Structure 1
């Protein structure tokens, strides 16, 4: 079987070297600040994990402000250890403020990791359901809308005159008979409305009762 050629990625190699040096500097600083044994090795792991968690938060696109905040905090811790161990700080006589910072780092890292993990949920995409296509075997039955229903009922059933008080119908009939006696023609709706002094819709309803 033919072996696959190995390709060396210069960027990856550079990243591994930088990570190893930063890891060693954080370990040396924690050891100089009084964190001996396994605790000195846990500090660089904590810083690197916070960096990775913040970077993933930035890549996800959610809560970028929190991601940038904790990314800069972890970067400052890593960069500070690199500078401090470069000869600018006497590791045999670490100042008290630096010991306090190193001792308080676990609480800061725990807070940052918790906020990054549970601060803001990832946005969920709404599931869109496509409508089912109509079957080509059977045609859909026609439906009557609410607007068409009154029109259908009006066409199928004869219209009945609106209810009018009997006394008003009797008076209108008397006026109509008087008009026929004088003119010889049946009274029309406008004339009936004028003689009775009623609105046009009521006059039309009275006319329907007279016919």
Structure 2
């Protein structure tokens, strides 16, 4: 299997060289300021991590002001170390203010990294709710009450003509006696003879039978 050609990215090589030189300059400055051993190596790592965190915040598009602020702080620390170790500063006699800046850098880097990592998230929009349709409640229809039998002639159904009515059937004597009692009570209460419609309503019998009973009461 033929080997794939290796392409050298000039930008990547330049970035690696710049990172290595900046890393070494930060280490030398921290060592000159009194941070020896592993402490001197931790300073360039802290500066580079803060710069990467700030760059990621800028790429995400959220809180760009905070991202630019901490990116410039890390860039100033890296660029200051490069300039200071270029012969402009006597590393054997570091001034007190530089020692203070180097000693206070871990707290500054921790604060910046915390603010960048735990920034305020974007507000989540609540999904639009669809209004619920009102549930239809079936209303029961009113039950028609049973009407009482009509007591007046106006409420009675129309009667058939006299010629179409069948011949009256014989009335039982017991029913005639009951009708007479009802007629007597009505006459005693109203002092008027009972009419056929009232007699029919009181006895609850059909109109032909009521008429036959009325004829026997007269």
Give the TM bin, normalised by the shorter chain. 0.5 to 0.7
CA contact (8 A) 1:28 1:85 kept: yes
Aligned structure 1 segments of 4 or more residues deviating by more than 3 angstroms: 122-129
Aligned to 1:45: 45
Deviation at 1:122, TM superposition (A): 4.8
Do the aligned partners of residues 11 and 125 (structure 1) sit closer, same or farther apart at CA in structure 2, a change above 3 Å counting?
farther
Aligned to 2:68: 68
The correspondence of residues 186-201 of structure 1 with structure 2, limited to 5 A, is: none
Deviation at 1:120, TM superposition (A): 2.0
Structure 2: gaps (5+ residues): 130-135, 137-218
Give the Cα separation in 2 of the matches to 1:49 and 1:13. Answer: 20
Structure 1: gaps (5+ residues): 130-145, 147-211
Give the Cα separation in 1 of the matches to 2:127 and 2:19. Answer: 41
CA contact (8 A) 1:32 1:92 kept: yes
Deviation at 1:121, TM superposition (A): 1.6
Q: SS where residue 65 of structure 2 aligns?
A: helix
Give the Cα separation in 2 of the matches to 1:62 and 1:48. Answer: 21
Do the aligned partners of residues 62 and 96 (structure 1) sit closer, same or farther apart at CA in structure 2, a change above 3 Å counting?
same
| TM-score normalised by length of structure 1 | 0.59
1:19 aligns with 2:29: no
1:86 aligns with 2:83: no
1:31 aligns with 2:31: yes
The correspondence of residues 1-211 of structure 1 with structure 2, limited to 5 A, is: 1-122=1-122
| TM-score normalised by length of structure 2 | 0.57
CA contact (8 A) 1:33 1:98 kept: yes
Deviation at 1:45, TM superposition (A): 0.2
CA contact (8 A) 1:30 1:43 kept: yes
Give the Cα separation in 1 of the matches to 2:127 and 2:10. Answer: 42
**Which whole-Å deviations, capped at 9, do the CAs of 1:48-67 have from their partners, x for residues lacking one?**
00000000000000000000
Give the RMSD, CA atoms, in angstroms: 2.3
Give the Cα separation in 1 of the matches to 2:125 and 2:36. Answer: 48
Do the aligned partners of residues 6 and 124 (structure 1) sit closer, same or farther apart at CA in structure 2, a change above 3 Å counting?
farther
Do the aligned partners of residues 97 and 122 (structure 1) sit closer, same or farther apart at CA in structure 2, a change above 3 Å counting?
same
Deviation at 1:2, TM superposition (A): 1.8
Do the aligned partners of residues 99 and 8 (structure 1) sit closer, same or farther apart at CA in structure 2, a change above 3 Å counting?
same
